[in-house]
Structure 1
Amino acid sequence: MKKIISFLFICTFILGYSQQKELTIEDAVLGYYKGLYPASLTSLQWVENSTNYIFQKENEFVFTDAKTNKIVKKITLEALQKQYLTLKKLPRLQEINSSSLTFRNGNSIEVFNYITNSKSNTITFDEHANNSEFNSKAKAIAYTIDNNLFIANATNPKIAVTKIEDKNIVSGQAIHRSEFGIVKGTFWSPEGNYLAFYQKDETNVSDYPLVDINTYPATLKNIKYPMAGQGSEMAKIGIFNLKTQSTIYLDIDTSDEHYLTNLSWTPDEKHVLVAEINRGQNHVWYNSYSVETGKKVTTLFEETSDKWTEPEFDAVFLPKSTTNFLWFSERGGFMNLYQYTTEGKLVKQLTKFNWVVTEILGFDASAKNVFITGTGVDARESHTFKVNLKTGKYTKLTAENGTHYTQLSSNGTYLIDSYSNLNTPRKTSIITTKKGKSTVIYTAENPLKEYNLGTTEFVTLKGNDGTDLYTRIIKPANFDASKKYPVLIYVYGGPHAQMVTNSWLGGASLWMTAFSTLEDYIIFTLDNRGSANRGFAFESIIHRNLGDAEIEDQLTGVDYLKSLNYVDSNRIAVNGWSYGGFMTTSLMLRNPGVFTTAVAGGPVIDWKYYEVMYGERYMDTPQENPEGYEKTKVANYIKDLDGKMLIIHGSVDPVVVPQHSMTLLQEAVKQKTQIDFFTYPMHEHNVRGVDRVHLVTKMMNYIVENNK
């Protein structure tokens, strides 16, 4: 075999030896609702401005001192119901500090003083509100109704920030289809005196028709969908002054359809910082704008790339500073932190890791250290580190191998650390950030201990270019190395996703573990080049040629499987959704004879039908890269189908629109090629809820019936 296989480690998790219970597909798919994923402390979080943490236990909130690990207070549902008669269960907390907790109750935001057991504040807003964001300093909530933005405070439930009748203009919502790390459309200033908001004009964006079959007769539902190479949205940023009740807009001309992202306030509320990205997504200007005038003050710095630039994080200002901030950048090959001033001076590169920084958690009280999360040296893991702001020296605070999710206390003294790995369902600890001392506060039981299941293993392969490729193999219960097993390759393979992680089940969905034992299958997954958390070179190799490097790496995985004596090389199937659907169809059609069966859900078939923001980043426009678009067009290969292929699509998918699958079916008819198709009526990009049992059952039945 040409590929060199490197076993960096094989970590085997024995889920069970002699258990008698059978894990069904239905139970596995609905596992979260049936207690088959590891339990945790519900609503666990720090109490702001204290070293207490809080979690929900049955019908009460429990406060615990992190230093002594002793319970210091409880708030019962009954106590809350005395003040809030309509409250049926413990609410989801939006904020919690040393004297009060804030939560939503119907169409109001409630602030409850738990020291005096009394209502502190109530803000009522319109019952039709969406995209709500409360700010304790402003004592107000921003929200949207349809395409307009409003604010509610204690005296007025509906202050109109925008009154725009043109349905093409949308205010206060996430823009640019939530790319560039955008998750919302409103941004309160540090002291709550202003509200910045995104606005988009979709006049240039084409309508895309979706059909609601649940009306009599069926009705048209148009959505705005900017396809690659076509008209896109024009963005604006508004600043609403709560005192004067007036709005100004930043003086930015976006008639060229460039992007406005990573909006940040300076701590003194005098400036807004905005990352502006050209539509070609290879040039970033980080600009400062005056809140008073809306005019640009300066360009702090620029970043360019011959592939793409993709800022995804807001500026994080150093404590007690209105001028110095930390900025995430991949300019050196890995996502690291750089310190800048608001005048555009690069103070220094703070971190110089050859691995990926993923988040800033906060700072300690002395402002000497910043706490971050990142992969560490093993990209399959996630850890927390303390980094000295002056020297850049760092200390790893999470000791155990695995995937850690941490929260930092307000003063930076303690971490809540919840982690899992192949051998650990979930363990939660309190870690002191000064010395790294860890105290376990919760250990989850193995929820699968009574089930007869197999093993999950990690294997590292070498790609054709020498790159490490991380894989996961699930083997059935009662595995016998002298037998020959069929294989299902589950693939995603696209940007911003990682399938193989050192976490519970190795990052796999529970249905894969169930299917492996129910049908005596090997389930195999490989994170190819282009996937997340491996650095820019690994991730950007796909530029303008989606599918090429990914397929090459997946075939390295196939070669490895064929080298195993217990694999039936003539019975290999492939399955994936979305980008994984693109990979599944591409693998099946561009490599005839390798796979017997393919099941692709919501597949991208032709990248010119995909959205501007994502598609043009990786492929440029169809006009700029016609050869790349033509090569990646899955329908071009339908005549080469050798085996059975099922395409599945939600009938109202607004992400990978149904046109993708329809064009593949059209070409199949033209080429006289028989393929199978199933649609989920009125489902969007994913089939969720109880209907997902139907989906997974259909996919698995199709694979078992045809992978022969």
Structure 2
Amino acid sequence: MKLRSLVALLVMLPTALPSASAQEREATRTPTLAEYTSGSPSQLRPTSLRALQWLGDDYIYIQERNLILGTPGAKKAERTLLTQDELLALIGEGTKGNTAKYFSPFQVVGRDQRHLLITFSGKHYVLDPRTKQLTTTFEQDTKREKTFDLAPTLEASAIIKDHNIYVTTSRGEEVQVTTDGSPTLVYGSSVHQNEFGIHGGLFWSPDGSQLAFYRMDQSMVAPYPIVHTNTRKATRQDLYYPMAGMPIHHVTVGVYNRATGKTIYLNTGLPKEKYLTNITWSPEGKTIYIAEVNRQQNRMELKSYSAETGEPLQTLFVEENEKYIEPQHPLYFIPNRPNEFIWQTRRDGFSHLYRYTTSGKLLGQITKGDFEVISFLGFADGGKTLLYTSTEQSPINRVAYRISIDGKGKKLLTPQPGWHIASASKSGKYLLDTFESLHDVRENRLVSTATGRDQRLYQSDNPEASYITPEIILGTIKADDGKTDLHYRLIKPTNFDPTKKYPTIVYVYNGPHAQLVQNRFHAGSLGWDLYMATQGYVLFTIDGRGSDARGTAFEQVIHRHLGLHEMADQMRGVDFLKSLPYVDTNRIGVYGWSYGGFMTTNLMLTHPETFKVGVAGGAVMDWSRYEAMYGERYMDTPQENPEGYKATNLALRAKDLRGRLLLIHGTIDPVVLWQHTQLFVEACVKADTYPDYMIYPEHEHNVRGADRVHLNGVITRFFKDHL
């Protein structure tokens, strides 16, 4: 058997941390709720090299008040590149910030990735840390500036303020690019509810001479009132939130030419209700590529446009899917081959890399197999080699590979089973790899992409080495279809006694773009479930069909009837729990947030004989009131799928509530509107059923910061009181 196959087989088998009893001989206490809460100031978590990233082909990180530089292969691998005092003197702020505990936060910028952008005391500074020279300075309007986007050539920046785009230079020149921006006419920001891999709205050309930007007209979308109560009189904020089946915003792409001072708009044509995604400049800056998705989200056309005239040049190719299609990645142009690019798509059922010419000719599929390419990391060998991470070792692992652009010579660079988060140096000769697994606390490594040899840069201590901690088990069971493997995480109570029976909580999400079970430290748990294990509970999580990183067929089973197959798979998980002699089958609860809140409520209503207690946070209760981009992708429109929407409107089933269900919602949630749980409560009142309720004023879709400890306390008390 090949080593890779053997490793994959071992990962598929149930695995566990060293037994709790071995740890308890030296442990003195269990972690507190705050110490287990993600984001808490006192959270116990592995450490890493602070701000570790590439500076060209060198790596840098913060070590207290020093910026450290490392050169792969050098005799003296690391040295202090810049101190905080030197930085403050360089930017003329020697008397300010000199008591900071750490070196100032920074961003690596520029085409060569050799400069730092530091925002400090009302200004944006661009500097070369190697020569210790200040390159450019931009004034910051702290009250009005919403976005600052630096050109790759470093001498200009794009700024959003007062709803409009301004281009500024280091010489203090400022040009107002747009003049009619407003809350309903949005420039330079993310569009389409940040779906389809969209993370921003400003796109500099490679030479910094032109700026492409999104223009979103949302005047046809009825405003939705978000009410803020932290003023003497409550104030209203209008949210332009297109719901499924209702009019959606119209988006176009503008191009501002710095030399001429003129702006043109790409002629993307009709219909106006479509999605313009994954905007990419050609290397020479004359062409813009857009992946255009129809509103039905079953057809994508990759088109090119002239950046000078705005007119369409050609449709390179079309992708279609009978259920839905979802492009997530821009074009990756191959170095030294300006007419060739890499395209990432799920065209064959799994996310893979393909090589194309700019005329639309397919040169070949580079990666193949029943696994997902998770991220494209970059090029090596002057463009002859690709670097990427994938699930090829196991769906619960992430590993990095190199492969030739012709699909040959594939090499596994990070063979250790577990979770590798990698980034490539400018030349692609090295990776910075942050690695962890169920058995390995986090470490930072330097990996040669030519040989795969690695060097450990940093090893985190186990933050729980002196604590009593629960045993975590990873394994698989079959889905409701009887053939698909589903991965689970099971956390046993501390001081586990196999002769006892324990209350059990199912933590659930099971929706697209999320994978909860991971071969990493704590197996992907965020901490609350670990704390509940210290309180005498079994915690169980399973990634059923519909969740992420398993391919199209695995995910698309949810299409047009959200919750149906997901619940069936969760119930197979319950069957597994019932087979365990230590699970108290009369005391099973369920908890989830967002899609998981929808699943929690649905499970409570559908299987009251199984679930005694539930907690649903930020839950979708009626998919017709969810946003159009996400909702229509998975459900089509309410007009096209009335039965599907009716079946997933949980308010219509409020009469079926039997157990104790706690609903939690942030009052200014812009993702799942507070209206969802309010209407469900209203339906329960009319149906004479009795949910419990908790709100978090002025919190959005989740409760973050110090208040998260309070949230976890509320959830803990509810299960302790009722399960």
Aligned pairs for 1:340-355 within 5 A: 340-355=356-371
In structure 1, distance between residues paired with 2:38 and 2:720: 21
In structure 1, distance between residues paired with 2:114 and 2:700: 43
The change in CA–CA distance for 1:600 and 1:99 in structure 2 (over 3 A counts) is: closer
User: Is 1:605 the counterpart of 2:613 in the alignment?
Assistant: no
| AA aligned opposite 2:64 | E
User: Is 1:220 the counterpart of 2:236 in the alignment?
Assistant: yes
Offset, 1:98: 8.3
User: Is 1:270 the counterpart of 2:306 in the alignment?
Assistant: no
After superposition, give the CA deviation of every residue in 1:240-288 in whole Å (9 maximum; x if it has no partner).
1111121110012355411100100110111000011110100111100
Matching residue within 167, 173, 179 for 1:163: 179
User: Is 1:121 the counterpart of 2:146 in the alignment?
Assistant: no
Offset, 1:166: 4.4
Matching residue within 70, 79, 87 for 1:64: 70
Q: Which moved more, 1:237-246 or 1:73-82?
A: 73-82
Matching residue within 292, 302, 326 for 2:318: 302
Task: Decide whether the 8 Å contact of 1:382 with 1:404 is kept in 2.
Answer: yes
In structure 1, distance between residues paired with 2:648 and 2:562: 6
Query: Which residue in the other structure is 1:17 paired with?
Result: 24
Task: Decide whether the 8 Å contact of 1:267 with 1:321 is kept in 2.
Answer: no
**Partner SS for 1:648:** strand
Aligned pairs for 1:64-103 within 5 A: 64-68=70-74, 70-84=77-91, 85=93, 86-88=96-98, 89=100, 90-95=103-108, 100-103=115-118
In structure 2, distance between residues paired with 1:245 and 1:681: 46
User: Is 1:443 the counterpart of 2:459 in the alignment?
Assistant: yes
User: Is 1:509 the counterpart of 2:522 in the alignment?
Assistant: no
| AA aligned opposite 1:79 | E
In structure 2, distance between residues paired with 1:422 and 1:7: 10
| AA aligned opposite 2:85 | E
Matching residue within 619, 624, 630 for 1:614: 630
Offset, 1:208: 0.7
* Unaligned runs of at least 5 residues, structure 2: 1-9
Task: Decide whether the 8 Å contact of 2:39 with 2:706 is kept in 1.
Answer: no
**Partner SS for 2:576:** helix
RMSD: 1.7
Query: Which residue in the other structure is 2:431 paired with?
Result: 415
Query: Which residue in the other structure is 2:127 paired with?
Result: 112
Task: Decide whether the 8 Å contact of 1:30 with 1:690 is kept in 2.
Answer: no
Offset, 1:429: 1.2
Query: Which residue in the other structure is 2:6 paired with?
Result: none
Task: Decide whether the 8 Å contact of 1:590 with 1:637 is kept in 2.
Answer: no
Aligned pairs for 1:192-203 within 5 A: 192-203=208-219
Task: Decide whether the 8 Å contact of 1:95 with 1:103 is kept in 2.
Answer: no
In structure 2, distance between residues paired with 1:417 and 1:30: 23
User: Structure 1 length as normaliser, TM-score?
Assistant: 0.96
In structure 2, distance between residues paired with 1:574 and 1:146: 45
In structure 2, distance between residues paired with 1:663 and 1:325: 49
Offset, 1:66: 1.4
Query: Which residue in the other structure is 1:38 paired with?
Result: 46
Query: Which residue in the other structure is 2:501 paired with?
Result: 484
| AA aligned opposite 1:492 | Y
The change in CA–CA distance for 1:691 and 1:166 in structure 2 (over 3 A counts) is: closer
Task: Decide whether the 8 Å contact of 1:138 with 1:193 is kept in 2.
Answer: no
In structure 2, distance between residues paired with 1:591 and 1:104: 54
Q: Which moved more, 1:248-257 or 1:369-378?
A: 248-257
Task: Decide whether the 8 Å contact of 1:46 with 1:53 is kept in 2.
Answer: yes
**Partner SS for 2:42:** coil
Query: Which residue in the other structure is 1:587 paired with?
Result: 603
User: Is 1:475 the counterpart of 2:492 in the alignment?
Assistant: yes
Offset, 1:219: 2.1
In structure 1, distance between residues paired with 2:680 and 2:113: 59
Task: Decide whether the 8 Å contact of 1:124 with 1:153 is kept in 2.
Answer: no
The change in CA–CA distance for 1:662 and 1:63 in structure 2 (over 3 A counts) is: same
In structure 1, distance between residues paired with 2:472 and 2:374: 26
After superposition, give the CA deviation of every residue in 1:404-454 in whole Å (9 maximum; x if it has no partner).
011111111111111100111111111111111111111110001111111
After superposition, give the CA deviation of every residue in 1:110-163 in whole Å (9 maximum; x if it has no partner).
122334433222122432212221124151121211421112211235421111
The change in CA–CA distance for 1:13 and 1:40 in structure 2 (over 3 A counts) is: same
Matching residue within 44, 56, 59 for 1:53: 59
Task: Decide whether the 8 Å contact of 2:40 with 2:709 is kept in 1.
Answer: no
Identity of matched residues, %:
39
Offset, 1:333: 0.6
Matching residue within 147, 154, 162 for 1:131: 147
| AA aligned opposite 1:91 | S
Query: Which residue in the other structure is 2:515 paired with?
Result: 498
| AA aligned opposite 1:62 | I
**Partner SS for 1:596:** strand
In structure 1, distance between residues paired with 2:200 and 2:283: 20
Query: Which residue in the other structure is 1:520 paired with?
Result: 536
User: Is 1:656 the counterpart of 2:660 in the alignment?
Assistant: no
Offset, 1:689: 1.1
Task: Decide whether the 8 Å contact of 2:364 with 2:406 is kept in 1.
Answer: no
The change in CA–CA distance for 1:295 and 1:138 in structure 2 (over 3 A counts) is: farther
User: Structure 2 length as normaliser, TM-score?
Assistant: 0.94
After superposition, give the CA deviation of every residue in 1:439-488 in whole Å (9 maximum; x if it has no partner).
11111100011111111110100112111010000112111111101101
Offset, 1:190: 1.0
The change in CA–CA distance for 1:147 and 1:255 in structure 2 (over 3 A counts) is: farther
Task: Decide whether the 8 Å contact of 1:234 with 1:254 is kept in 2.
Answer: no
The change in CA–CA distance for 1:590 and 1:163 in structure 2 (over 3 A counts) is: same
In structure 2, distance between residues paired with 1:165 and 1:56: 40
**Partner SS for 1:21:** coil
Task: Decide whether the 8 Å contact of 2:35 with 2:43 is kept in 1.
Answer: no
**Partner SS for 1:268:** coil
**Partner SS for 2:337:** coil
Task: Decide whether the 8 Å contact of 2:11 with 2:394 is kept in 1.
Answer: no
Q: Which moved more, 1:348-357 or 1:215-224?
A: 215-224
In structure 2, distance between residues paired with 1:441 and 1:332: 39
Offset, 1:32: 5.4
**Partner SS for 2:539:** strand
Matching residue within 561, 566, 576 for 1:560: 576
Q: Which moved more, 1:137-146 or 1:230-239?
A: 137-146
User: Is 1:189 the counterpart of 2:205 in the alignment?
Assistant: yes
The change in CA–CA distance for 1:349 and 1:155 in structure 2 (over 3 A counts) is: same
Matching residue within 320, 330, 338 for 2:346: 330
In structure 2, distance between residues paired with 1:111 and 1:417: 27
In structure 2, distance between residues paired with 1:419 and 1:597: 37
In structure 1, distance between residues paired with 2:558 and 2:51: 40
The change in CA–CA distance for 1:87 and 1:238 in structure 2 (over 3 A counts) is: farther
* Unaligned runs of at least 5 residues, structure 1: 1-5
**Partner SS for 1:322:** strand
Task: Decide whether the 8 Å contact of 1:649 with 1:658 is kept in 2.
Answer: yes
Q: Which moved more, 1:147-156 or 1:277-286?
A: 147-156
Offset, 1:73: 3.9
In structure 2, distance between residues paired with 1:8 and 1:214: 50
How many residues are treated as equivalent by the alignment?
699
Matching residue within 245, 251, 269 for 2:267: 251
Q: Which moved more, 1:345-354 or 1:492-501?
A: 345-354
